[in-house]
A and B are shown apart, each in its own frame.
Chain A
Amino acid sequence: MKSLSLSVISASILAAAASVSAPIAFADTELKHDSEYVIDGKVYGLPEAKVYREDYSGPAVVGDYLTQVPNLAKLDYEGNKTHNVRMDVFSQKVEVAPGVSYSAWTFGGSVPGPVLHVREGDRVIFKMKNRSDEEVTITKPVKNGSPFLQQVQANTYQNNQPVVNPMPHSMDFHSGTVAAEDKWRTISPGETIEFEWIANYAGTYMYHCGTSSVLMHTAMGQYGAVVVSPKDGYPTDADKEYVLVQSEHYLEEVGDGEFIYNHDAALNRQPSHVTFNGHVGALSDSPLRADEGDRVRLHVLNAGPSGTSSFHVIGAIFDRVWYEGDPRNEWYGMQTVLLGASNSATIDFIVPEEGIYKLVDHEFADAELGAAGALIAGPRKDK
C-alpha cells in the first residue's frame, strides 16, 4: 500500500509537469482514475475490467477509427483522444480461398478482424460482447457502425455469412500494458467485457483471443492489428499507407466445399493456406494502389499463429524499416524483413516506376500457399 500511494503522488507530480511542458497536444492523457500513475510519460494502473450482461444487438463494430484491412483510418484530430471502441466476438463463415470456406471464430466478423488506428498516448475504452451463440450479420448496412462495416459491405471478399458456434472467448491487445488475468479474461457466450488501455507505445500490434487452446482460437481466425502512430509521427511522410496481416490457416475438407479446422496440422505447423489479409486473393483481386515516385508505407503484422514471415516486395528496397513500428527501431535499405509470430514492422519504400510490385513472403513455401499480393503503380504524378 505504501508504494502504491507513493507512486500516485509521483504520478500526479509527473502529470503536472507533463501538462506544463505539453499543455495542448496531449491534454487528454490526463489521469482519469485514482488507480492510475505515470512512469516515463506512460500511464499505468488502469481500473479493473467489468463483465456484465447487456441487451445489445446493434452494430458489431463501433468506432470511427476501425477499418477493414488494408485500409487505415486517418487520424483527423490533434493530440490525444479517448476512443470508444466496440468489437464483438462471434462466429462467421468466411472464405480464405476460392471454394474454401470455414466457420471462423472472429472479432468483428472477418479474418483478420478490423484494424484499429490510434495515436501514441490515446486512451481506448474497449467493449466486447460474446455473441458467438447468435447469428450476427455484417454485410447489411447498419446505423452507427464503424467504417469497417461499410468497407466490408463494399468489398465482401470473404463472403462473410453468420454462423452459430458458442464458445468462451477473450481479447488480448498486445498494444495494452495491463494485468492480463483481469483485462484479457475469458467471457462466456452472452457476456460483455469492458476495460480500458492506454496506447503507451507506438507501433503495430497484434490483438488476439487468449482463451485456451490459444492455438486453436487464433488459428480459427481471432486476430487483427492495432496501429499506434507515434505522437511525433515517423521521420518521413508517406503518400500511401496500408495494413497487411499475414496468417496461416489449417483447414481440411470435410464435404463439398466445407472445410474445418485441423488441429493436428496446426500442431505440426502444416498450414493449408497462408494469406495476406485473410484470403489468398485479397491483394491480387484488389491490389494496393500507388503511383510512381510515391513513398508507400506498409504496416505489416505476422499474426502467425506459429509461422514466420520473410516479407519482401519484388522490385523495391525498403528505404526505412521501423521494427514493430517504433520509430526508434530504425533500419535502412532492407530487402526483406523477418517477422516472428506477432512481430510487425512499419516499412517505407519508394515506388520506382509505373508497374506491378508483388508482395510476398520470401519463404516460398508460404508464398505458394497464398502469401502473395500486389501493389499496382500508376504513372508519376507531378510533385
Chain B
Amino acid sequence: MVKWLGVAGLMFSTLTASPLVLSDPVRINGGEFEPPVLLDKERLSIEINSFMLDATPVTNQLFLDFVKSHPKWQRDNIAALFHDGNYLKHWPQNNAYPDGQADHPVTYVSWFAAREYCAAKGGRLPSLNEWEYASVQYRQQQNISDDDYARNLFAWYSQPKSDEQRVNVNATELSHMYDRVNEWVEDYQLLLTNGDDVDLLSGSCGDGARFLSSFTKANYATFFRYQSRSDYAPQSSTSTMGFRCAYDISSDTIASNGDQL
C-alpha cells in the first residue's frame, strides 16, 4: 500500500514538475463516503473522486520558498484584505522562519494565503469532505480506534502546543492529520455562516446530535473540528492553523497509472 502510494505520488510530482514539492503527495482512492456530520440531511452518502493529498502539512521551508517566488504574499507585502494582522507573525523576518523550524508546519497563515499557495503548486485546498474522507483512511492506516481518535482530538484542542512540531518531509503516507496543526479546507465555513442556508441553531447550544449520522465519540469529535474551524474568519492567522494541499488527478494520469477512479 505504502509503496503503491509512493509510485502514484512520484508520477504526480513529475507531471507538475514543481521543484518545490519535497515530499510526494499521496493518492487517496475515491469511493463512497458517509459523512459523520450531515450537512445535507438528504445525502447520507457522498461519492468522493480519487485525488492527491500532501502527505504532511505544508512546512515553513516550503512556505518560505513560496513567498520568495511570490513576493506579494510576503509578510510585508500581503494585502490587508487577506489576513488579520498576524500573518506569519512568528517569523523573525519577512523572508525567514525561526531557527530550527524548517520542517515545522507553517502557521499564522490565513485561508487566503493557504489557497494561494496550493494554487501556485497546481493544486487547491482539499474540500471538507475530501479531508475527512482521507482522515478516515488515515485512521485505518494508523490503526487508530474511534475512541482514541476522539480522545486525542479533544486533548489536542484543550492543549494544542506540543514540544514536537517536526514533520517527516519525506513521508510516503498520510501523516500528522491531527497532532500538529488544525488545517484549512476549501469550504471550511460550510456549516455555520456561509450562504443563506444556515441552520437555525447552528449547533451553538450544544445540540450536536442533530447533525451527526450517529452519536459516536468519533463523530462528535469530528463535528467539533468542523464547528470550531467554521468560526474562524478567512483572514484568521493563528498559531495553530496550517494546511496541506490537494490535487486533482487528470484523466491522463489515471490512464497511465491504470487505476480506477
Q: Which of A188, A216, A254 touches B232 (beta carbons < 8 Å)?
A: A188
Distance (Å) between the CB of A210 and the closest chain B CB?
6
Q: Is the CB of B232 within 8 A of A168?
A: yes
Q: Is the CB of A168 within 8 A of B239?
A: no
Provide 17 A-B residue pairs closer than 8 Å at the C-beta atoms, listed in order of the A residue.
A133-B86, A133-B238, A163-B161, A165-B240, A166-B239, A166-B240, A190-B84, A191-B233, A210-B204, A211-B204, A213-B223, A213-B224, A216-B154, A216-B158, A254-B155, A258-B159, A264-B150
Counting chain B CB atoms within 10 Å of each CB, the highest count among A53, A190, A211 belongs to A190
New A-B pairs, 16, CB < 8 Å, besides A188-B231, A213-B208 = A102-B159, A133-B240, A166-B160, A166-B239, A188-B84, A188-B238, A190-B84, A210-B204, A212-B202, A212-B224, A213-B228, A216-B157, A258-B159, A261-B155, A263-B220, A267-B220
Whether B30 is near chain A, meaning CB under 8 Å from some CB there, is no
Bound CA–CA A213/B220 (angstroms) = 9
Given contacts A53-B85, A133-B239, A188-B232, contact A103 B206 (CB under 8 A): no
Whether B72 is near chain A, meaning CB under 8 Å from some CB there, is no
Contacts of B220 in A (CB 8 A): 213, 263, 267
Q: Mark B198-231, 1 if CB is under 8 A from A, else 0.
A: 0000111110100000000100110110011001
Q: Mark B232-261, 1 if CB is under 8 A from A, else 0.
A: 110010111100000000000000000000
Bound CA–CA A38/B132 (angstroms) = 50
Distance (Å) between the CB of B208 and the closest chain A CB?
7
Q: Which of B154, B155, B161 touches A165 (beta carbons < 8 Å)?
A: B161
Distance (Å) between the CB of B87 and the closest chain A CB?
11
Q: Is the CB of A53 within 8 A of B204?
A: no
Contacts of B157 in A (CB 8 A): 167, 216
Q: Is the CB of A264 within 8 A of B155?
A: no
Across chains A and B, the number of contacting residue pairs, with CB separation under 8 Å, is 101
| Chain B residue nearest in CB terms to A191 | B233
Distance (Å) between the CB of A39 and the closest chain B CB?
25
Q: Is the CB of A212 within 8 A of B239?
A: no
Whether B70 is near chain A, meaning CB under 8 Å from some CB there, is no
Q: Is the CB of B151 within 8 A of A213?
A: no
Q: Is the CB of A264 within 8 A of B217?
A: yes
Contacts of B155 in A (CB 8 A): 254, 260-261
Bound CA–CA A258/B159 (angstroms) = 10
Distance (Å) between the CB of A162 and the closest chain B CB?
12
Q: Which of A188, A213, A260 touches B159 (beta carbons < 8 Å)?
A: A260
Whether A164 is near chain B, meaning CB under 8 Å from some CB there, is yes
Given contacts A166-B238, A167-B228, contact A103 B159 (CB under 8 A): yes
Q: Which of A189, A214, A263 touches B238 (beta carbons < 8 Å)?
A: A189
Contacts of B86 in A (CB 8 A): 133, 190
Contacts of B221 in A (CB 8 A): 263
Q: Is the CB of B206 within 8 A of A213?
A: yes
